[in-house]
Structure 1
Amino acid sequence: MSKKKKIKAIGLIVEDISDYNSFKIIISRVLQKNNLTFKKAIGNGCGKMRRKALSYADTLSRKGCDLVILVHDLDRNNLKTLKADLDKLMDKSRVKNKFVCIPIEEIEGWFLGDPEGIRDAFNLIRTPKIKGRPESVTSPKEKLEDYVYQCSNKFKLYLNTQHNELLSNSLDLEKISAKCKSFKNLEEFIKEFDY
């Protein structure tokens, strides 16, 4: 069996600070390690992030990141086209170990994979009834807002910038992995290395 590559620091190219904090938590939980080193490049929107992805990746590499993950919401894009475009960009980078993570449609879609966890995290009166697979939900951020509001009898509000860290810390990642292919792809990739 070949030895896993040792990773010293993980670089995250993300849209905003909320995504950075959420992905740090999720990756640490998946790997069951709380002493990982992360560095960030914040795109402040998908358009700018896509334009600057290559320079962000190379900067993170110079800062000591030997693994770089680019996180780009699918939103309403075509998955194959977006993945091909982002992979092509990242292939030009000097980083040897890189991964393009495309949450479908966005990270909130993953969160919908654990309705009981959402109920518990927000101390809701009822468990959200989420129909179908989480990655098939249109506008999952807005849906999550609605579930929290309705299942708290219109008492609580979900704000992604405030609550995504809470959800990243508390939801059942095994349930999310079983229901969300884009999450499982990230999980399998990061487990290929030694930290």
Structure 2
Amino acid sequence: MKKLIRHTYLSILLTIPVVLSGQNSLNLEILGNWEHEKLKQDPELLLDSDSKVTSNFNPKSIYFFQKDGVLDIKESYGQFKTNYSIKDSILSLGTLKYKILEFTQNKMVIEEFGDLVLFKKKLEFDRTNKQIEPIPAKEKILESYQNGNVKTSGERQNGFENGIWTEWYENGHVKSVIYYNMGAPLMTAAFDKTGELISKNWFDLHSNSVRTD
């Protein structure tokens, strides 16, 4: 009996380092640049009989996995930043979770994971030599006209417009004021060249709709 207990205990001690080593190895091997080509047609559109099938693929995007769980994603329309982590073959990208189905030195296949995920998208990545420069986590934007007057001011967080963004006419009057929450415009006010308010709209959380004043 003692021999069996000793053997079981030894097996556990030998097994744990192997598991941890594999986990650490995956965290190291994923570092670098990966290229992903997305299908133009989302699975949800397949339910719409009126939707038209167009060309197969969108432009490719680059995922730059860095140390300390930092990920930069470069799309055709911009570059964004988020966190990632790997645990028990689950890759978390921000708030989204993916199950790692295949992982080699040059290829990775992941699938959306979660009980509430209706359409589980499968994403395929190929390692690439293409390089991208990481963007700042926070970046203040200030653009000016040739006459020196300010044109646009605001702040980006992880690549998304965040907080109050203001745009001016060249004559110095405010053109628009937009309040963003990580890229989503929650309130917009527009003015004419004399500074008079033209329109105002905001996102109403209670009705989940845009209201206009």
Question: Shorter-chain TM-score category?
Answer: under 0.3
TM-score (structure 2 length as normaliser) = 0.21
More strand by share: 2
TM-score (structure 1 length as normaliser) = 0.23
More helix by share: 1
With a CA cutoff of 8 Å and minimum separation of 6, indicate the structure with the bigger relative contact order.
1
Higher Rg: 2
